Structure 1
Amino acid sequence: MTSVAAPDGVTLHPEHGAASWRAIGTYVDVRTTPEALTDAVDLVAAVVDEVDVALSRFRPDSELALVNASPGRPVLVSPLLVGAVRVALEAARETDGIVDPTLGEVLVGAGYDRTYALVPSDDPSPAALPSAPGSWREVHVDDSTVTVPPGASLDFGATGKAYAADLAALTVVEELGVPVLVSIGGDLRVAGPTGRPVPPQPVRLGHNLADLEAGGATTTVTVGAGGFATSSVSARRWRRGGRQWHHLLDPRTGSPADGPWRTVTALGHTAAAANTASTAAVVLGEQALGWLTDRGVAARLVAHDGRVATTPAWTLTLPEDPR
């Protein structure tokens, strides 16, 4: 397969209608019709940049940073951030707070206070954790403002990339009228124009990007229109004060989720819905399989010991490639 590296760092495979690049600390993949690829990449890259400016917890000039720095006061924000907050709060409602967007202070106290690449892998400093983490019910959002309660800060680690994938895919469909797959850090959305079939897309699953790049054990499935997401505790890990941390927190304890699942992949009508389900499953631990099954979610769960479990909907919807 030949590839052309564009000046902006995007690797294009025009003959296959595929492109990939790195942004916001992760990877971005786009698939669409070959003739629309360049324009689709431009649209997706623009959305990713806008999301970074609005949602980044690590940029002092982001809208989110301004909101978090103004507890108890409404802050005028863009429609993009309003949408992100509403998606995050919907995830909290759907999971009874298991996926909680107000754990930013816990992550900061645990040492995840900068872009992950800059977080020390082993910091002996003690964690400085808040006494009462999580207050998502007290977040207020209207059409133009967001207010966070004192003692809390928003973090979109669970839904932010998925929200960006949804927004980018729908932007391509609206502007170009072509089917598209957008994946941002493994949160994936497949969409197409109304009334036109969306070609199924093969997707390779692994525990994390390093596993995929190293040629580790993977599973390939074929997905159609909708969302697809994987949550894993095998990446974004660090030590602080002699304790192992990762980015998926259990709001009931304020500690890293410590259940049996290393990786959970789920489907949803959007990437945000899929990520909500996969994140909740990791946090719920032993209760996850029943929770997902009761809600009809197609999901695949991989335990730390390699055991694989799937929900009935997964088997019916996504038969795995036998290769």
Structure 2
Amino acid sequence: MTTAVLPQDVVLHPHHGAASWRALATYVDVRTTPAALDAVVALVAEVLDDVDATCSRFRPDSDLSIANAGAGHPVLVDPVLVAAVRVALEAADETAGLVDPTLGSVLTAAGYDRTFSLVPSEDPSPAALPVPTGSWRDVAVHGSTVCVPVGAALDLGATGKAFAADLAALAVVEELGVPVLVDVGGDLRITGPDGSTVPSHRVRLGHNLTELDGESGVTVVVGAGGLATSSTSARRWRRGGRQWHHLVDPRSGTPASGPWRTVTALGHTAAAANTASTAAVVLGTDALGWLQAHDVAARLVGHDGTIATTPAWDAADLEETETA
């Protein structure tokens, strides 16, 4: 029997079958059966390392960076990146381009060209922003190759964490046969072996880590499936006198500026939930109508603290509880 290799910074709670650490420049939480905790943590950490090595925009040796550098030509890449790009293109197609994976050049020009902790909070340099073109339609994935269109650059930030949560959770079920919750920066997937009972979990919602770690907030009880939160309150910086955040409206190439600071959505996977929550932030005032038309269970929080929910959210019986 091999010994599980755990992340160096992992915090384990064996009696509760829970663990937390940092990966992909964000927090990771895992919950599973106590007896399987070490093996689950080791496997999830391995999957997230693979995602980072293949899908990071900030690693020059990643498969994504190599594909971007080879724009205009099919580039042989790792299957993990192929899968991640397919998920991102599905999100773009389902939202008519509202969730666009080809905004890498826009984010780079705006100053988000390195791991966010290294991005200056204030940079007076002007941002020479490219004109958005909707070039996601021209990304080609064939077999083990990805071809990025000339003039574009892939950025999987909109769906990457959710994809990683789904991939890690499914790996746990397939290889270890136990139920699991994997939360990667607020995008989470709960699943278990076919035919088994997947336990529900209490999940705290918040628009930033301060709120999540504090004593105020909202707790929901969710079962099998995905849940994701998109927020304009995290990853913010100023460039050339403009306030930026990481959620860009692909129709304008500028930060989404609607009334919602945070949107939480449910989906059959974390990626599906994240697709809906991101699209809602981008849509702004049209978000509620779009979410209702797509029968998405979602909770929206405005910059002024206003809370709105869709009928599907109200009908989901999430046992929402205000904590004080």
TM range, smaller chain:
over 0.9
The 8 Å contact of residues 44 and 172 in structure 1, kept in 2 or not, is answered as yes
Whole-Å separation in 2 of the counterparts to 1:246 and 1:7: 29
Whole-Å separation in 1 of the counterparts to 2:285 and 2:216: 24
Q: How far 1:216 moved relative to its partner?
A: 5.4
**Identity over aligned pairs, percent:** 72
Whole-Å separation in 2 of the counterparts to 1:7 and 1:298: 34
Which residue in the other structure is 2:311 paired with? 312
Which residue in the other structure is 1:120 paired with? 120
Q: How far 1:21 moved relative to its partner?
A: 0.2
Q: How far 1:143 moved relative to its partner?
A: 1.7
The 8 Å contact of residues 103 and 133 in structure 1, kept in 2 or not, is answered as no
Q: CA RMSD in A?
A: 1.0
Which residue in the other structure is 1:274 paired with? 273
Which residue in the other structure is 2:203 paired with? 203
Which residue in the other structure is 1:296 paired with? 295
Stretches of structure 1 lacking an aligned partner (at least 5 in a row): 1-5
Q: How far 1:229 moved relative to its partner?
A: 0.2
Whole-Å separation in 1 of the counterparts to 2:121 and 2:256: 19
Whole-Å separation in 2 of the counterparts to 1:137 and 1:236: 27
Write out per-residue CA displacement over residues 205-256 of structure 1, whole angstroms, 9 at most, x where no aligned residue: 011112222x153100000000000000001000000110010000100000
Q: How far 1:7 moved relative to its partner?
A: 7.2
The 8 Å contact of residues 14 and 34 in structure 1, kept in 2 or not, is answered as yes
Whole-Å separation in 1 of the counterparts to 2:124 and 2:7: 42
Write out per-residue CA displacement over residues 10-57 of structure 1, whole angstroms, 9 at most, x where no aligned residue: 100000000000112100000000000000000000000000000000
Which residue in the other structure is 1:22 paired with? 22
Which residue in the other structure is 1:283 paired with? 282
Whole-Å separation in 1 of the counterparts to 2:55 and 2:205: 27
Runs of 4+ in structure 1 off by over 4 angstroms are none
Whole-Å separation in 2 of the counterparts to 1:269 and 1:71: 33
AA aligned to 1:186 is: G
Which residue in the other structure is 2:3 paired with? none
Which residue in the other structure is 1:254 paired with? 253
Whole-Å separation in 2 of the counterparts to 1:161 and 1:153: 18
Whole-Å separation in 2 of the counterparts to 1:9 and 1:284: 38
Q: Taking structure 1 as the reference length, what is the TM-score of the superposition? A: 0.96
Which residue in the other structure is 1:3 paired with? none
AA aligned to 2:34 is: P
The 8 Å contact of residues 187 and 230 in structure 1, kept in 2 or not, is answered as yes
Alignment CA distance shift 1:7-1:129 (3 Å): closer
Which residue in the other structure is 1:147 paired with? 147
Whole-Å separation in 2 of the counterparts to 1:23 and 1:7: 9
- What are the residue-to-residue correspondences of 1:1-323 with 2, within 5 Å? 8-213=8-213, 215=214, 217-317=216-316, 318-323=318-323
The 8 Å contact of residues 7 and 21 in structure 2, kept in 1 or not, is answered as no
Whole-Å separation in 1 of the counterparts to 2:57 and 2:216: 33
AA aligned to 1:292 is: L
AA aligned to 1:185 is: G
Whole-Å separation in 2 of the counterparts to 1:141 and 1:227: 26
Q: Taking structure 2 as the reference length, what is the TM-score of the superposition? A: 0.96
Whole-Å separation in 2 of the counterparts to 1:227 and 1:81: 21
The 8 Å contact of residues 239 and 245 in structure 1, kept in 2 or not, is answered as yes
